[in-house]
Amino acid sequence: MKPLWAPWRIDYILGDKSSGCIFCDKVKESADRDNGILLRGEHAFVMLNAYPYNPAHVMISPYAHVDCLEKVQPLALAEIMALTRLSEMAVREAVRPEGFNMGLNIGRAAGAGIEEHLHLHLLPRWNGDVNFMPAVAGTHVIPEALLQTYDKLLPAFTRLANQS
């Protein structure tokens, strides 16, 4: 059996498991690169998923700590969609996916990992990106470190945000 190296996971394994909300806490800090925050809007923001299914898996979330669409203010809801559109364009430019999955998991029964703070997933997809590893080994291989992905995406996000 060959080892599968994922050295960045040790930070999560050994790190502090605070009881706070990552969407609320990370956006209050100024370390955007370390926290994967790619773009800040007035009512919502875009950040990398720290445990992505594929490289360039981003999440769009309101600043407000809400758990469903019904609680999102109209201006924030409009900005979430505008940032989702911009994210699709930026990810398409930076990593050239062949498709996307987008969605919200509202509530634990729907698969929400962080059910208390609404966030929309934008997941780039490539033909053949699903292989035997998840089925046989329960493992998904991410071929790029998060900070490499961040550095690849940031210029496209910055350029597109400055155009609008």
Could you give the residue numbers annotated as active site?
119
Secondary element (H or E) of residue 148:
helix 146-163
Distance CA 33, CA 23 (A): 15
| 88, 129, 151, 83: CA torsion to nearest 10 | 20
User: What is the widest separation between alpha-carbon atoms in the chain?
Assistant: 53
Phi, psi of 52 (to 5 degrees): -75, 155
